[in-house]
A and B are shown apart, each in its own frame.
Chain A
């Protein structure tokens, strides 16, 4: 893909990052929505049940009329179809991010000093967003954390789907219910990230635009120039 140069704008997200980001957003909605419907059938915690409207698997009445099942089988179909989008798209992104070095350049290093400073600045409502081409320490930690949660979600999901073929994973997670719990924790981490991620993107809309067009206005020089 040829990226045309626009004089006063700088490319922050190459095309492949933007495409995989939005495909991943769709995949996450499918996996979480259908996963919640599957979870509701036999909850891990009796006090945690997801509202029907937030789940994926079809209108229970319509589905029941078609196949005498209230949409549980439909949610499973969604989950086991969506996993391909989630995994293949995730592998494309990770291959690019690792091979191009983007992952290390953007997410590392995470220094404790920077982490403390970012947290104290943010707690005093001083959101430093003068240079969107670099991530602050908290962003780095959250992005790496959610990537790790997604990888673990895939591994624990694989162990639930194929507990005999990949029995080592079941052994590690102390049985089938242990693997379910790990899978549930990964989902919780991803959803918590999503809430913060969407809220901040709406708070600083320029970041949302950057993930669509790939570009942002060149940061002012006093913020340290263009660091990539």
Chain B
């Protein structure tokens, strides 16, 4: 902020002003100025609240918002009913092909080389052998026609088929009392969900969409599908699963998006 200097006024006495009262009442003048400063400070605060543009980048405000987001994680975990199923729909309502979404454009999708692709298993599981797509497909298949909801506000009905994540975690003898299941992807995306959601009947490792192998732009060969989570909580082009008690975060979760993001 620049300080404006007073221009010479016609009404100012040429001989200067008697400064003695100021000196005599120095203490009083200072308290007055302090009050004025306080009041201006307050109205400045109120002004930033109105525009909102700067307040969001204030560190204290950021800390408060993050604190509320952690509180919301806890409230959502408490609200989550592990037996409550998401509504299901008819085959006729299924959107074909599904809607593409990633943190980059569809033209930048790099199809997975199936000669080298493996699903790695890490963390709190007894069987850490890696998986080929053939081995995953040999497990019993489940299907769901549910609503996909994006954090941005759009939604569509889709049909996803694959292995129940609960069944998969049991197969690898994972510690089902662990807190998190974390995913890493071929496109450097990552994500993590709570164990309660991982064990929900409508959470699956998806290999098919609308009865066809899921296409390259939509996560081939393996993506997560959880009918009780927002879209960004379901990583695509998955390359590894880890069961852990240490908070793993995720691509968007590390960029201020709420971690739990349950529906």
Chain A residues in contact with chain B, CB under 8 A?
Answer: 26, 29, 33, 38-39, 41-42, 53, 55-59, 62-63, 66-69, 71-74, 76-78, 80-81, 84, 162-165, 167, 170-171, 175-177, 180
Contacts and interface: CB of A to CB of B under 8 A. Distances in A.
A175 B87 CA distance: 11
Contact of B65 (A38, A62, A81, A180): A81
Contacts, number: 98
B258 interface: yes
B145 to A, nearest CB: 14
Contacts of B153: 38-39, 41-42, 180
Given A80-B69, A84-B68, A33 B147 contact: no
B93 to A, nearest CB: 10
A170 B154 CA distance: 14
Contacts of B252: 73
Contact of B255 (A55, A67, A80): A67
A124 B254 CA distance: 59
Chain B, interface size: which category? 35 or more
B241 interface: no
A167 B87 contact: yes
Interface of B: 49-57, 64-66, 68-69, 71-72, 76, 79-81, 84, 86-87, 147, 149, 151-155, 227-228, 252, 254-258, 262-263
Nearest to A167: B87
Contacts of A77: 65-66, 68-69, 256, 258
B50 A176 contact: no
Contacts of A167: 86-87
Chain A interface, >50% SS class: helix
B256 A162 contact: no
B76 to A, nearest CB: 8
Nearest to B254: A67
A177 B155 contact: yes
Contacts of A80: 68-69, 72, 258
15 contacts: A38-B153, A41-B152, A42-B153, A56-B52, A58-B56, A69-B255, A74-B56, A74-B65, A76-B258, A78-B65, A80-B72, A162-B79, A164-B84, A165-B79, A170-B87
Sorted nearest first, the 8 A-B pairs with minimum C-beta distance are A58-B56, A81-B68, A73-B256, A56-B52, A67-B255, A42-B153, A77-B65, A164-B263
A71 B64 CA distance: 16
A42 to B, nearest CB: 4
Contacts of B57: 58-59, 62-63, 66
Contacts of A78: 56, 65
A176 B87 contact: no
Contact of B87 (A39, A42, A171): A171
Contacts of B76: 162
Contacts of B49: 26, 29
A89 B156 CA distance: 35
A76 B253 CA distance: 12
A79 to B, nearest CB: 10
Contacts of B87: 164, 167, 170-171
A77 B69 CA distance: 7
A73 B257 contact: yes
A81 B52 contact: no
B81 to A, nearest CB: 6
A164 B201 CA distance: 14
Indicate the member of A72, A77, A167, A170 with the most B CB atoms within 10 Å.
Answer: A77
Contacts of B227: 164
A46 to B, nearest CB: 14
B147 A76 contact: no
A57 B153 CA distance: 17
Nearest to A57: B56
A59 B54 contact: yes
